[in-house]
Amino acid sequence: MTTVLVVEDDDAIRNNVARLLKLEGYEVSVAVNGTEGLERAQATRPDVVVSDINMPGIDGFAMVEAMRADPALATTAVLMLTALDDRASMRRGMTAGADDYLAKPFTRVELLEALEGLLKKRERIEKSIRAAAAPPPPRKD
């Protein structure tokens, strides 16, 4: 089962996203800020982190940067959800290491499509790594 960590300081948004993802069959855990999100990600190693940017403690940018610096979390897919929909904030999120960026308000369909895209990308990467690590086929001389 795919695991998703939702990091969001707004109770209503966090609960709605978590409920939606659970209804779609994802295993969901939540965190109320970036510090707790980083700790929970380190403890549970989710498949995907869905995170707000503006939060108390460390913000979403700093959380993603810390994840990318941790070898155990460096390849974890990260979807940023934020009210900061300007181009500079989007660039900053992507530079910090986010894989996708969804501006609030977002629809159920937008969230699910973004999540599905991240999971497909992860699957392609893992398949490529497995193929590269496989021994070469025997030579036919």
pLDDT digits (tens, 9 = 90+) for 58-108: 999 999 999 999 999 999 999 998 887 677 777 878 888 899 999 888 999
User: Are the C-beta atoms of residues 81 and 114 closer than 8 Å to each other?
Assistant: no
| CATH fourth-level superfamily of 3-133 | Response regulator (3.40.50.2300)
In the β-sheet with 3-7, what is the strand arrangement from edge to edge? 27-31, 3-7, 48-51, 77-82, 100-103
Question: What is the tens place of the pLDDT at every residue in 15-32?
Answer: 999 999 999 999 999 999
What average pLDDT does range 37-51 have in this prediction? 97
Of the chain, the end-to-end C-alpha distance in Å amounts to 44
Residue ranges of domains in the chain = 3-133
Containing 49, the helix (H) or strand (E) segment is: strand 48-51
